[in-house]
Amino acid sequence: MSQEDALRPGEQRLAIAPDDDAALRFIGHIETPFPERADCPRQGSEEGPECTLVLKSDYAPALLGLEGFDRIEVLYWLHRARRDLLTQNPGQDGVFRGTFSLRSPLRPNPIGTSVVRLIRAEGCRVTVRGLDCLDQTPLLDIKPYRCDYAPLAKGKNIKVK
Amino acid sequence: MSQEDALRPGEQRLAIAPDDDAALRFIGHIETPFPERADCPRQGSEEGPECTLVLKSDYAPALLGLEGFDRIEVLYWLHRARRDLLTQNPGQDGVFRGTFSLRSPLRPNPIGTSVVRLIRAEGCRVTVRGLDCLDQTPLLDIKPYRCDYAPLAKGKNIKVK
| Structure confidence at residue B150 (pLDDT) | 81
pTM exceeds 0.80: yes
Q: Are B58 and A14 in contact (CB < 8 Å)?
A: yes
Of A103, A108, A141, the CB nearest to B25: A108
Per CB-CB distance under 8 Å, the chain A contacts of B95 are: 152
| Structure confidence at residue B154 (pLDDT) | 60
Residue B62 burial (C-beta neighbours within 10 Å; 0-12, 13-18, 19+) = buried
Domain B28-144 class, CATH top level: mainly beta
Q: What percent of chain A has pLDDT over 70?
A: 90
- Which pLDDT band, with edges at 50, 70 and 90, does A60 fall under? very high
Q: Are A75 and B12 in contact (CB < 8 Å)?
A: no
Lowest mean pLDDT among A77-81, B58-62, B93-97: B93-97
Of B61, B107, B142, the CB nearest to A141: B107
| Structure confidence at residue B84 (pLDDT) | 93
| Structure confidence at residue B64 (pLDDT) | 96
| Structure confidence at residue A11 (pLDDT) | 87
Closest residue in B to A69 (Cα) is B101
Lowest mean pLDDT among B84-98, B109-123, B125-139: B84-98
Closest residue in B to A89 (Cα) is B153
Q: What percent of chain B has pLDDT over 90?
A: 71
Within chain B, where are the H helices?
none
What's the start-to-end Cα distance of chain B, in Å?
Answer: 42
| Structure confidence at residue B76 (pLDDT) | 98
SS3 content of chain A, % helix, strand, coil (to 5): 15, 30, 55
CA–CA min distance A47, chain B (Å): 10
Which one of B97, B100, B109, B160 would you mutate to disrupt binding with A, by most A Cβ within 10 Å of its Cβ? B100
**Between chain A and chain B, how many beta carbons pairs sit less than 8 Å apart?**
246
Instruction: Indicate if the pLDDT at residue B153 is higher than 90.
Output: no
* ipTM metric: 0.90
| Structure confidence at residue B75 (pLDDT) | 98
- Which pLDDT band, with edges at 50, 70 and 90, does B53 fall under? very high
CA B73 – CA B145 distance, rounded (Å): 5
Closest residue in A to B71 (Cα) is A101
Report pLDDT digits (tens) over B118-128.
Answer: 999 999 999 99
Q: Which residue has the higher pLDDT, B4 or A113?
A: A113
| Structure confidence at residue A122 (pLDDT) | 95
Q: Which residue has the higher pLDDT, A105 or A8?
A: A105
Closest residue in A to B160 (Cα) is A45
Instruction: Indicate if the pLDDT at residue B130 is higher than 50.
Output: yes
Report pLDDT digits (tens) over B107-120.
Answer: 999 999 999 999 99
Report pLDDT digits (tens) over A129-158.
Answer: 999 999 999 999 999 998 888 876 665 443
Of A38, A40, A64, the CB nearest to B98: A64
Q: Are B25 and A18 in contact (CB < 8 Å)?
A: yes
* Phi, then psi, of A20 in degrees rounded to 5: -125, 30
- Return the SS3 of B60: helix
Of A22, A69, A158, the CB nearest to B41: A158
Q: Are A109 and B14 in contact (CB < 8 Å)?
A: no
Listed residue (A112, A44, A161, A140) closest to B147, CA to CA = A44
Q: Which residue has the higher pLDDT, A130 or A2?
A: A130
Give the HSE-up count for residue A47: Cα atoms under 13 Å, Cβ half-sphere.
4
Of B21, B45, B155, the CB nearest to A24: B21
| Mean pLDDT value of segment B8-31 | 88
Per CB-CB distance under 8 Å, the chain B contacts of A27 are: 108-109
Q: Are B73 and A113 in contact (CB < 8 Å)?
A: yes
- Sign (positive/negative) of CA torsion A63, A67, A68, A69? positive
CA A31 – CA A54 distance, rounded (Å): 7
| Mean pLDDT value of segment B64-81 | 96
